[in-house]
């Protein structure tokens, strides 16, 4: 079924070119009984057209053009900035690491520090490409490891390589030098399984990583998570949160999986929608050239892409949707999503001091999170009205699909 829909739009485009615009109407009518693809496409097309007609907010429209340009720069951020979009302390707390502690000072004998491993690559590598994957998605981002903090568990660089490493999960780093001028490789392992990789070249004559070659045990320890009120329901705790970084620790303290929590709360917090919404969202982001965030991770590492789409490629035969993107500092990125692995898609609303934060989240058949999509907001500012309208249109189209409207 997924392959059928992946092929449907391209077939319709070719048919319309040959036989005229009436083919669009027949294609939409024929596809309507199978899914909400048509409803989503129409809703998103209207949203994109509305955004093109008047992309400025009412507040911006009343400003002088020069002032409006400065405001857009402030809201969109400096494309070359490396500053985090989120508070470091809260991010460290969310992954379970004490930012003020120094794991290197208490590392077990013969164990190396994760922080030092990443900084060594960041200082020596050129032409570096990082890679994180799970069972249905993977993300490649060109760049280097900068702003390494919290003992190496956080690499805070929204414009490039942006990582969250869950403490206590990564136990080994393997540096491999094939020699003869070939690209070197650094692999983070968890229980013998690769959870994050980087390939890179070294500057001619550099021996910065000579001490790191081979496999090394790493020091990486969890901290105790805060306990939440045991007598409160998941919904009550969810609505009481004022920082999105507290959501994952709250679930872990209760011992409940993310998808299980979504199924227990009302639809204003989490709403299951058709899987076609993923493609509809990405095509809308491409048309509007909107900056967004994509989170791809596994049980040990989460990597984040913040930027815009350069092009989307569908590979129906292998059931893949490929996103070629560009980070805020101009680095190349590629996100691959296996549509055959997609089983459920959810629209989720979190709460913060700056207002609601909404995301589209993709799960596989085992209930594992494949990828999350967020607005590229900055701390202290609400999410954009365009992103909010975009997800609202997806939810509205999904409601119509469920009721047969």
Q: 293-337: per-residue pLDDT in tens?
A: 999 999 999 999 999 999 999 999 999 999 999 998 899 999 999
pLDDT digits (tens, 9 = 90+) for 357-381: 999 999 999 999 999 999 998 778 8
Q: Roughly what angle, to the nearest 10 degrees, separates helices 2-19 and 276-288?
A: 50
Q: Among the CATH numbers 3.30.2010, 3.40.50, 3.40.1570, 3.30.70, which is that of 97-157+167-219?
A: 3.40.1570
Strand (E) or helix (H) holding 270: strand 270-273
DSSP class of residue 134? -
Listed by start position, the domains of the chain span 1-33, 97-157+167-219
State the Cα–Cα distance between residues 369 and 345, nearest whole angstrom.
10
- Specify whether the CB–CB gap between 355 and 20 falls below 8 A: no
Of 163, 148, 140, 141, which Cα lies nearest the Cα of 118?
148
Tell me, what's the pLDDT at 193? 94
Using CA atoms, how far residue 124 sits from 11, 196, 325, in Å, is 48, 18, 25
Percent over 90 (pLDDT), the chain: 43
The whole-number pLDDT of residue 268 equals 93
d(CA 218, CA 115): 9
Among 101-110, 313-322, 350-359, 375-384, name the one with the lowest average pLDDT. 101-110
Strand ranges (DSSP E) for 134-256?
137-142, 148-149, 154-155, 163-165, 172-176, 184-190, 193-202, 214-219
pTM: predicted TM-score of the whole model, two decimal places: 0.76
Six-digit token pair at 252? 């872990």
% of the chain residues with pLDDT over 70 = 67
Mean pLDDT for 193-206 is 85
């Amino acid at each position: 079924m997924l392959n059928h829909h992946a092929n449907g739009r391209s077939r319709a485009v070719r048919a319309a070119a040959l036989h005229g615009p009436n083919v669009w109407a027949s294609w939409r009518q024929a596809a309507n009984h199978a899914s909400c693809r048509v409803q989503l496409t129409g809703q998103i097309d209207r949203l994109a057209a509305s955004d093109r007609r008047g992309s400025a907010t009412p507040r911006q429209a009343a400003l002088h053009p020069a002032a409006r340009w400065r405001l857009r720069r402030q809201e969109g951020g400096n494309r070359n900035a490396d500053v985090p979009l989120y508070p470091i302390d809260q991010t460290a707390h969310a992954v379970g690491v004490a930012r003020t502690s120094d794991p290197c000072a208490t590392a077990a004998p013969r164990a190396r520090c994760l922080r030092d491993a990443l900084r060594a690559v960041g200082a020596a590598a050129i032409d570096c490409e990082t890679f994180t994957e799970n069972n249905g998605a993977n993300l490649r981002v060109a760049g280097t490891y900068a702003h390494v903090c919290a003992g190496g568990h956080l690499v805070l660089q929204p414009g490039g390589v942006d990582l969250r490493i869950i403490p206590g999960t990564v136990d080994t780093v393997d540096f491999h030098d094939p020699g003869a001028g070939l690209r070197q490789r650094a692999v983070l392992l968890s229980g013998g399984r690769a959870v994050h990789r980087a390939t890179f070249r070294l500057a001619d004559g550099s021996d910065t990583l000579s001490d790191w070659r081979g496999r090394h045990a790493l020091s990486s320890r969890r901290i105790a998570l805060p306990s939440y009120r045991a007598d409160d329901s998941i919904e009550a705790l969810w609505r009481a949160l004022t920082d999105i970084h507290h959501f994952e620790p709250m679930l872990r303290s209760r011992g409940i999986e993310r998808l299980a929590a979504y199924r227990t709360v009302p639809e204003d917090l989490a709403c299951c929608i058709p899987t076609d919404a993923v493609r509809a969202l990405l095509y809308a982001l491409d048309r509007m050239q909107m900056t967004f965030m994509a989170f791809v991770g596994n049980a040990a590492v989460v990597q984040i892409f913040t930027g815009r789409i350069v092009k989307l490629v569908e590979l129906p035969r292998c059931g893949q949707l490929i996103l070629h993107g560009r980070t805020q500092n101009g680095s190349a990125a590629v996100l691959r999503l296996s549509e055959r692995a997609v089983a459920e898609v959810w629209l989720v609303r979190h709460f913060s001091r700056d207002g609601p934060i909404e995301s589209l989240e993709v799960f596989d058949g085992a209930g594992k999170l494949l990828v999350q999509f967020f607005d590229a907001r900055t701390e202290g500012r609400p999410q954009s009205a365009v992103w909010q309208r975009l997800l609202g249109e997806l939810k509205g189209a999904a409601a119509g699909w469920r009721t047969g409207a």
